[in-house]
Amino acid sequence: MTDVAETDSLRDVLVVMPEAGWNGWYSDWWNHGQGGDPAWETFHTVELRHLLERDWGAGRDRVVAGLSMGGQGALQYAARHPGMFKATAAYSGSAHPLLNDESVNRVMGFFAGQNNDPLRVWGDPVAQRRIWQAHDPFHLAKRLTSLPVYLSCGDGTTGPLDPPGATSALEADFNRQNHALAAELKRLGAQHVTTHFYGPGTHTWAY
């Protein structure tokens, strides 16, 4: 769905684009305190890494990037696994799912659409607040201050790559989340934050 395969600067780089479930949220699911599968974070940061190092010659110079749900995953992995990645980037990413009730309810809707039990992933946003915060890049921002961080997002209004009148409440929400994370990183003294908040544009592959 993108032109990544034609990007010349990636010719000498091992590009790995793993699956993360339709709504896996790059997390080892809480499962009402029982843990267990799905365990996407363990798969990506432990099992997959070992396979890449053993079979594909992967080294230790790693960066992580993602879009939408994957943007949350990229920021989260970089924060939760210090030293594993040397930079991180999120494109229209879920950068602060605890921003407000709208953001929380939207994520809970995604959770419910995956398994009909929205509490399986991170639990209740109030009762299991610590689990939510542990997967929210905004609340992990202090762990990102030493890394180059790239944040890009549209504002959800009709952009140059949209049909007339198209809007996106999801992109507007993520835009607010990304601005909040960028401001928090700045407040914490991060020196290597690049933002591309390009204004009009929806949450679609064209961007």
Domain boundaries in the chain? 60-199
pLDDT at 113: 77
pLDDT at 114: 65
Tokens of 171: 């992109």
Closest CA to 24 of 115, 90, 99: 115
Q: What is the DSSP string of 25-55?
A: TTSB--GGGT--S-BHHHIIIIIHHHHHHHH
Tokens of 79: 């924060």
At 139 the three-state DSSP class reads helix
pLDDT at 21: 82
Tokens of 17: 């684009």
pLDDT at 115: 67
% residues pLDDT > 90 (the chain) = 89
The CATH class of the 60-199 domain is alpha beta
Cβ neighbors of 66 (< 8 A, separation 6 or more) are 26, 72, 73, 74, 89, 90, 91, 93
Taking the C-alpha atoms of residue 27 and residue 69, their distance in angstroms, rounded to an integer, is: 11
pLDDT at 86: 98
pLDDT at 44: 97
Question: Cis ω on the peptide bond leading into residue 125 (within 30° of 0)?
Answer: no
What's the whole-model pTM score? 0.95
Taking the C-alpha atoms of residue 1 and residue 119, their distance in angstroms, rounded to an integer, is: 31
pLDDT at 2: 84
Closest CA to 72 of 54, 87, 92: 92
Contact 26, 45 (CB under 8 A): no
**Ordered per-residue pLDDT tens for the chain, 207 residues:** 888 889 999 988 999 999 888 889 999 999 999 999 999 999 999 999 999 999 999 999 999 999 999 999 999 999 999 999 999 999 999 999 999 999 999 999 999 876 679 999 999 999 999 999 999 999 999 999 999 999 999 999 999 999 999 999 999 999 999 999 999 999 999 999 999 999 999 999 999
pLDDT at 27: 96
